Chain A
Amino acid sequence: MTIVSLKDFSLSYTKDSPPALHRIDLDLNSGESVIVSGLSGSGKSTLCLAVAGFTETFPAMTVSGQIIRSESADGKPLRVGIVLQNFYSQVTYLRSTVMEEIAFPCENLGLPRAETARRVSDAIARIRIGHLAQRSPLELSGGEKQKVVLAAAIAGKPDLLILDEPLSQLDPESTSYLGEVLSELKQELALLIAENDPYLTLKVADRLVVLSEGKIVADGSPETVIGPSTASCLDLPAWTKCVAKAYEGSVADDNRMTRQYELNYRKALSLLRGSE
Chain B
Amino acid sequence: MKVKYENVSFNYSSTAALKNISCEFDSGKTILVAGHNGSGKSTFLKLMNGILKPTEGRVILGEIATDGKRTSELARLCALSFQNPDDQLFAQSVKKELRFGIDNIGGGDGLYDSIVDTLHLGGQLQSNPYALVYAMRRLVVIGATAAMGTPILALDEPTAGLSIREKEYLGNLISFLKARGTTVVIVTHDLNFMLPYSDDMLLLSHGGVQFSGGRDEFFTRSDARDLMKRSGIGYPMYARISSALDLEKAAFDADEIAEWARKKRAGVTQRTNGQHQLEGA
Least distance between B197 CB and chain A CB atoms (Å): 16
Question: Mask for A63-88, Cβ within 8 A of B = 1, else 0?
Answer: 00000000000000000000001101
Question: Do B241 and A239 have beta carbons less than 8 Å apart?
Answer: yes
A121–B136 Cα distance when bound, in Å, is: 37
Q: Tell me if B104 is interfacial: C-beta within 8 Å of chain A.
A: no
Q: Which of B125-157 contact A (CB under 8 A)?
A: 131, 133-136, 156-157
A238 touches B254 (CB 8 A): yes
A230 beta carbon closer than 8 Å to chain B: no
Residue in A40, A142, A144 whose Cβ sees the most chain B Cβ within 10 Å: A40
Given contacts A142-B157, A247-B274, contact A242 B261 (CB under 8 A): yes
Q: How far is it, in angstroms, between the C-alpha of A159 and the C-alpha of B165 when the chains are bound?
A: 34
A274 contacts chain B at the CB level, 8 A cutoff: yes
Q: Taking the complex as formed, is A263 at the interface, i.e. its CB lies under 8 A from any CB of chain B?
A: yes
The answer for the CA separation of A250 and B273 in the assembled complex, in Å, is: 7
Selected contact of B234 from candidates A86, A136, A176, A263, CB within 8 Å: A176
B163 at the interface (CB under 8 A from A): yes
Tell me the complex Cα distance, A143–B258, Å.
Answer: 34
Contact of A40 among B35, B165, B232, B274 (CB under 8 A): B165
Give the B interface residue count (CB, 8 A).
61
Interface residues on A, range: 35 or more
Bound: A206/B262 CA distance, A: 36
* CB of A29 within 8 Å of the partner chain: no
Chain B residue at minimal CB-CB distance from A135: B14
Q: For residue A267, which residues in chain B have a CB less than 8 angstroms away from its CB?
A: 278-279
**Chain B nearest CB, measured from A162 CB (Å):** 15
* B274 CB contacts on chain A under 8 angstroms: 247, 250-251
Give the complex CA separation of A272 and B260 in angstroms: 9
Given contacts A142-B42, A172-B189, A242-B257, A196 and B281 within 8 Å (CB-CB) = no
Instruction: List the B side residues contacting A257 at CB < 8 Å.
Output: 280
Kindly state whether residue B226 has any CB partner on chain A within 8 Å.
Answer: no
Question: B12 — which chain A residues lie within 8 A by C-beta?
Answer: 139
A247 to B265, alpha carbons, bound, how many Å? 10
Q: How far is the CA of A260 from the CA of B280 in the complex (A)?
A: 9
Tell me if A269 counts as interface (CB < 8 A to partner B). yes
Interface status of B222 (Cβ within 8 A of chain A): no
B166 interface residue per 8 A CB criterion: yes
A243 within 8 A of B: yes
Alpha-carbon distance A168/B161, docked complex (angstroms):
6
With A235-B164, A251-B278, A267-B279: A41-B232 Cβ-Cβ less than 8 Å: no
Cβ contact within 8 Å between A256 and B280: yes
Most chain A beta-carbon neighbours within 10 Å: one of B39, B87, B241: B241
Q: Are B37 and A169 in contact (CB under 8 A)?
A: yes
Q: Is the CB of A246 within 8 A of B261?
A: yes
Residue of A nearest to B157 (CB): A169
With A39-B163, A237-B237, A246-B261: A170-B189 Cβ-Cβ less than 8 Å: yes
A142-B37, A144-B38 known, 12 other contacts, Cβ within 8 Å: A89-B86, A139-B13, A170-B37, A171-B36, A171-B233, A172-B191, A172-B233, A173-B36, A238-B238, A256-B280, A263-B281, A276-B276
List the 8 closest A-B pairs by CB distance, nearest first: A143-B37, A40-B135, A245-B258, A238-B237, A256-B280, A241-B254, A246-B258, A246-B261
